[in-house]
């Protein structure tokens, strides 16, 4: 029996291919959270990579999720002052 998923939907995990489930348990807690959010096709792509490519993909995913929005992002529209 696999360990219980704390805070994660068990049914979703059980629907993954066995290889994806097994790989999940090798990940750090932070990577588990990211892996859980991937689409099934992205999980399979990650599994099919050589170790060097997989490490590079993790680095890219982690940097994207850790980067806050920049000033170049579309700002929220300013409210116009109402009648006074």
Who's near 38: CB < 8 A, 6+ residues apart? 46
- pTM across the whole model: 0.64
pLDDT, tens digit, for every residue of 13-23?
A: 778 888 888 99
* Token duo for residue 20: 């994806």
Q: Are 44 and 20 in contact (CB under 8 A)?
A: yes
Tally Cβ neighbours within 10 Å of residue 58: 18
**Run of H or E including 22:** helix 18-24
Tally Cβ neighbours within 10 Å of residue 16: 19
Domain residue extents for the chain: 12-66
- pLDDT at 35 exceeding the cut of 80: yes
């Amino acid at each position: 029996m696999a360990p219980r998923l704390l805070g994660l939907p068990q049914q979703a995990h059980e629907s993954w291919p066995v290889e994806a489930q097994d790989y999940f348990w090798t990940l750090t807690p932070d990577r588990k959270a990211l892996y859980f959010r991937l689409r099934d096709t992205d999980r399979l792509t990650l599994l099919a990579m050589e170790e060097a490519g997989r490490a590079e993909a993790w680095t890219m995913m982690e940097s994207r999720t850790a980067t806050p929005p920049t000033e170049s992002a579309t700002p929220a529209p300013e409210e116009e002052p109402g009648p006074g």
